[in-house]
Chains A and B, each alone.
Chain A
Amino acid sequence: MPKEPDRVVELILPMLPDMEIAATRTAEAVAEMMQLDADKTAEVSMALIEACLNSFEHSQSVDRKVFITFRVAGDELQIILKDHGVGFDPTQVEAPVIEKKLHSGARKRGWGLRLMESMMDSVKFESGPDGTTITMIKKK
């Protein structure tokens, strides 16, 4: 039996307020196409929101765009999110700890990478001076 071809959806988002919600709507449509269950679909949306916000807030991208590819291959959803920003070193991002965050004056933010990694089966960051690519995988 021939292997079913990958199904691919591509999306280009401007870095504008709440545009991450447009990404989740596409993710939901793709998730429905591959019959991903509701909990996993919500996890994909949450990870995608955080990946978009990471680019929107930190990339300093001149073109102010995020390029997202959704690829369904068998029982696996792969999401590749790219920006053309300045890049970052994920190993230099301090792991958030709630006890530290609850101390007076401490910065409360910094949860994005933790949430992405917790919601998906795998998350890979590739980053350099030409931008950042986040590859996330969710298994059915």
Chain B
Amino acid sequence: MSESFEIEVKQHQALWIFTTHGYINNQGGDVIKEKYDESYNGGARKFLLNLADSKIINSIGVSILIEILEKTIEAAGELAFCNCAPIVEKTFTIMGITRYAKIYRTEEDAVKAMS
């Protein structure tokens, strides 16, 4: 019962926005990392993950998000999330991710704050 995962990438000035669709497990995390690396290698340093359509995650997928968070911090960049389901936000809080990455209620709020 393989869960499909898709990602859309768009740019708003210096901010790169990834909108995910589906389960963020190891495969989903790898897709996010691949798109992140492409934009990072192109010079991007500000990233927003819109997780409105990713209401299920697991610790393997989130560990990949920690990898990209680490890389962003090391480059003095910024990574944030928006539209997180309550369980996703709770998971990030338990793991301590929210101490290093902001969570915005909506994409509009995030774009306004990060642009």
Contact = CB atoms under 8 A, between A and B. Distances in A.
B87 A49 contact: no
Interface stretch (B9-17, B35-43, B46-54, B68-76): B68-76
Contact of B70 (A17, A45, A104): A104
A98 interface: yes
A98 B91 CA distance: 13
Contacts of B66: 98, 101-102, 108
Given A18-B25, A102-B70, A111 B2 contact: no
A115 B73 contact: no
Q: In which size bucket is the chain B interface?
A: 20 to 34
Contacts of B97: 98
A49 B91 CA distance: 13
SS class of chain A's interface: helix, strand, loop or mixed? Answer: helix
A49 B62 CA distance: 13
Contact of A108 (B57, B64, B87, B90): B64
Contacts of A8: none
Contacts of A3: none
B112 interface: no
A20 B70 contact: no
A86 interface: no
Given A18-B23, A96-B95, A102-B70, A46 B87 contact: yes
Interface residues of A, number: 31
A111 B1 CA distance: 24
A118 B94 contact: yes
A99 B73 CA distance: 12
Contacts of A53: 58-60
B60 A45 contact: no
Contact of A18 (B1, B73, B94): B1
Contacts of B1: 18-19, 21-22
Interface string A107-126: 01101101100110000000
Contact of A111 (B25, B62, B70): B62
Contacts of A19: 1
26 contacts: A18-B1, A18-B23, A18-B25, A22-B1, A24-B56, A39-B86, A42-B86, A43-B90, A45-B56, A49-B56, A49-B58, A50-B59, A53-B58, A98-B95, A98-B100, A101-B66, A102-B66, A102-B70, A104-B70, A104-B74, A108-B64, A109-B63, A111-B59, A115-B59, A115-B91, A115-B95
